[in-house]
Amino acid sequence: MARPQLGILFGGMSDEHDISVRSAREVAAALDTDRYEPVWIGITRSGTWRLCDGPDGDWDERPGSPAVLVPDRGVRGLLVLEGGRYRTVHLDVVLPVLHGRFGEDGSVQGLLELSGVPYVGCGVASSAACMDKSLTYVVARGAGVATPDFRTVGPDDDVDAEALPYPVFVKPARSGSSFGVSKVSRPEELPAAIRTARRYDAKVLVEAAVVGQEVGCAVLGGDGADLVVGEVDRIALSHGFFRIHQEDRPETGSENSTPIVPADIPDESRDLVRRTATTVYRALGCTGLARVDLFLTQAGTVVLNEVNTLPGLTSYSRYPRMMAAAGLSLTDVIDRLVDLALEAGAR
């Protein structure tokens, strides 16, 4: 029996390009090539799609074949230019290993929907809602989950700095990995923080700081299926706030944080985190996978922080660590995700 052709998208135009490449390298190491025939599609920082041999080394500098995903369901795959001629490459399923804009926000998902190729992860609406923190909060509140108090600031909006309850966090509404996030303790710091956030998104969130421990929960599953929930983790901070992927060499560790898996929290708190994560996952219509980040307060309550629908899969990323602690290797996770995508595509 022929192996399914698994298209793996990586790289991309977002600020998380390098993280995507690192994630793809871990996927390459974990992928069961006896089970799948991988088709590697690297997306350069400028947005060029290339059929390549994989994410190793200087893949974006080596010659590669230009490729596009065809929004024609008669093709269900790629159009590739080689030797001055075009050929098609069929894809049975796509695994987007992309983070941030144009990968995690519904853009690629929409293109895949048009193409008719099944894909791993959340759909268009869910991806877009989870990418925008203000929309995430609105949906979560509707499901009875607590969120920080927040306000959105548009590109032309002014903010009365004196009216805010400090400290606050200022962050791009649609960005990830802590890019553009600032903690603001005094009114005079606010304008600079908003300018920093606007470098990443015209829509900015100003939200009240939540006093609590940062915890996370990895979730895997599809519509109507039993969900697999990984071990809860806790981010132990020595100072400041959690700024993932901001280090020059994140694989060697963070300057101010240590992930603890399983989290060293009471059993009742662990159960609450897991229940809340699954509530958020279902309320936002997530499928495939997501990492739900929360705050655990001293009173034992939880407050939503954010939802990542294509979380990092690097050697130091939280999602694979939480799944591994629950007994699922990255190879197992990939197999389950691809099976879910194929099952959904067959309906």
Q: What percent of the chain has pLDDT over 70?
A: 93
Q: Which helix (H) or strand (E) holds 334?
A: helix 330-345
15-43 pLDDT, tens digit each: 899 999 999 999 999 999 999 999 999 99
Cα gap 136→140, rounded to integer Å: 6
Predicted TM-score (pTM) of the model is 0.92
Average pLDDT over residues 39-61: 92
Q: How confident is the model at residue 165 (pLDDT cuts 50, 70, 90)?
A: very high
The residues with which 215 forms a beta bridge, in sequence order, are 234, 294
Beta strands 233-237 and 49-52 are: unpaired
Average pLDDT over residues 60-72: 88
Q: Does domain 150-208 have CATH number 3.30.1490.20?
A: yes
With 70 as the cut, is the pLDDT of residue 254 above it?
Answer: no
The three-state secondary structure class of 182 is strand
Residue 87 is predicted with a pLDDT of 95
CATH node for 5-119: 3.40.50.20
Question: How many helices and strands (H and E) does the chain possess?
Answer: 8, 17
Q: How confident is the model at residue 344 (pLDDT cuts 50, 70, 90)?
A: confident
Residue 1 or residue 154, greater confidence: 154
With 90 as the cut, is the pLDDT of residue 224 above it?
Answer: no
Q: How confident is the model at residue 67 (pLDDT cuts 50, 70, 90)?
A: very high
Cα gap 130→309, rounded to integer Å: 7
Identify the burial level of 158 via C-beta atoms within 10 angstroms of its C-beta, where 0-12 means exposed, 13-18 middle and 19 or more buried: exposed
Residue 158 is predicted with a pLDDT of 86
The three-state secondary structure class of 5 is strand
Amino acid identity at 198:
R
Q: Which residue, 344, 287, 314, is CA-closest to 127? A: 287
Residue 179 is predicted with a pLDDT of 86
With 90 as the cut, is the pLDDT of residue 83 above it?
Answer: no
Angle at 113 between CA 74 and CA 221, to 5 degrees: 125
Are 120 and 341 in contact, with CB atoms under 8 Å apart?
A: yes
Residue 240 is predicted with a pLDDT of 52
312-339 pLDDT, tens digit each: 999 889 999 999 999 999 999 999 999 9
Q: What percent of the chain has pLDDT over 90?
A: 82
Residue 248 is predicted with a pLDDT of 57
Average pLDDT over residues 98-126: 96
Average pLDDT over residues 176-196: 91
Are 80 and 65 in contact, with CB atoms under 8 Å apart?
A: yes
266-302 pLDDT, tens digit each: 999 999 999 999 999 999 999 999 999 999 999 999 9
Q: How confident is the model at residue 255 (pLDDT cuts 50, 70, 90)?
A: low
Segments making up each domain of the chain, as ranges: 5-119, 128-147+211-345, 150-208
Q: How confident is the model at residue 115 (pLDDT cuts 50, 70, 90)?
A: very high
What integer best gives the mean pLDDT of the chain? 92
Cα gap 271→308, rounded to integer Å: 20
Residue 58 or residue 265, greater confidence: 265
CATH node for 128-147+211-345: 3.30.470.20
Are 278 and 286 in contact, with CB atoms under 8 Å apart?
A: no
